[in-house]
Structure 1
């Protein structure tokens, strides 16, 4: 079973890191500012592909954002694609660019 931990430095940069049996196998790179979490990149090791880990990272990030009343700036192509594909699920937390629907 995979374990996801939010690990940040003193500047609030870091990520949601995915561990399997103590080994890091994936990450969602983020930074947190007042009222805003920016997602830069999501990656899971090829050896763990197809297990739904990217979605688990996304779900964990979304739960954190909602719990802390933040918005998400999805610079990561994966997260942005998920937000566009499922707007009803994410509209409440999506910090859209001007003119973006």
Structure 2
């Protein structure tokens, strides 16, 4: 599954797209040059149980590690993933 990433000004998103449709989406806002706030995660019901939401969070974690960025997961889903995965906690601000 190929998770894509796009940024525009102070916002960004990680998403899964199939046949031109975004079926999984996680959005964030930049909080300065070294912090992002994950504010929303959404997955099409047709993909429930396939781990798309987790893959979106994983993509954000990889991005944060590569760019020395901290994450605030305000989105309830992303927050729950960060609570479950101790290996992500060093990225929290």
Q: TM-score, normalised by structure 1?
A: 0.83
Give 2:22's aligned residue. 24
Q: Gapped runs of 5+ residues in structure 2?
A: none
Aligned length: 92
Once superposed, what is the RMSD of the aligned Cα atoms?
Answer: 1.3
- Assess if the C-alpha contact under 8 Å between 1:7 and 1:14 holds in 2: yes
Larger radius of gyration: 1
Alpha-carbon deviation of 1:3? 2.3
- Assess if the C-alpha contact under 8 Å between 1:3 and 1:20 holds in 2: no
Matches within 5 A, 1:1-101: 2-9=1-8, 11-32=9-30, 33-86=32-85, 88-95=86-93
Alpha-carbon deviation of 1:21? 3.5
Alpha-carbon deviation of 1:94? 0.9
Could you list the per-position Cα deviations for residues 13-63 of structure 1 after superposition, in whole angstroms to 9, with x for gaps in the alignment?
A: 131111124321010011223110110011100011111100110111100
Q: Gapped runs of 5+ residues in structure 1?
A: 96-101
- The 1-side partners of 2:17 and 2:36 are apart by 22
Q: TM-score, normalised by structure 2?
A: 0.89
